A and B are shown apart, each in its own frame.
Chain A
Amino acid sequence: DTGVSQDPRHKITKRGQNVTFRCDPISEHNRLYWYRQTLGQGPEFLTYFQNEAQLEKSRLLSDRFSAERPKGSFSTLEIQRTEQGDSAMYLCASSLATGNISPLHFGNGTRLTVT
């Protein structure tokens, strides 16, 4: 399977703990995106990378959130001091930046539950 891979699929944590999620994009894709989806809502943009550079961050991304893509391949999203409001599905997507617009390809997400 050469699609976008996310790990873990599910994460249950206690409030105040730190969590880290991993995303492996489609190998030739140079853009990588993180989205968050809560029940009854569409995915909400958090941040994106072109290669290793983080080029855009949403105002939804509080200081407790940090994302990295150190070698321009896989990416990690860390949430520090988790809160119950962080419970959501975290989706990663990738695309290939060319002269034409390329649709985003999503992984199956990491479902975070903060208790």
Chain B
Amino acid sequence: DQQVKQNSPSLSVQEGRISILNCDYTNSMFDYFLWYKKYPAEGPTFLISISSIKDKNEDGRFTVFLNKSAKHLSLHIVPSQPGDSAVYFCAASAPGGADGLTFGKGTHLIIQP
């Protein structure tokens, strides 16, 4: 049973436009959400996070939005750049966070020139 769902296996966006990656979760106990970026042959790299007490967190070109009532979060990248082409994983943790993160299956973002 997938507790964190990324329903788009891939997404193609033109360079300079906005990329929007979506993530849904089912476990209402999750209170902290993260996005990781992964290049081939490398481990996931932390990108941005958001606590459940917030609905938005921004870091440069990256913004994460959280809609708790819908159990939905999204990552916006604007403007998209070629180096953003990677697999993006949504992850979530429950209170305490010590038992690790639950990841989605990832979305492969392709930025076209």
Contact = CB atoms under 8 A, between A and B. Distances in A.
Interface string A72-110: 000000000000000000010100010001011111110
B103 to A, nearest CB: 3
B45 A106 contact: yes
**Size class of B's contact patch?**
20 to 34
Contact of B43 (A50, A101, A106): A106
Interface of A: 4, 31, 33, 35, 40-45, 48, 50, 55-56, 58, 91, 93, 97, 101, 103-109
Contacts of B44: 43, 91, 106
A23 to B, nearest CB: 11
A104 B46 contact: yes
Nearest to A40: B105
Given A103-B34, A103-B49, A105-B46, A43 B103 contact: yes
Nearest to A92: B43
Contact of B100 (A41, A45, A97, A107): A45
A43 B105 CA distance: 8
Contact of B98 (A42, A44, A48, A106): A48
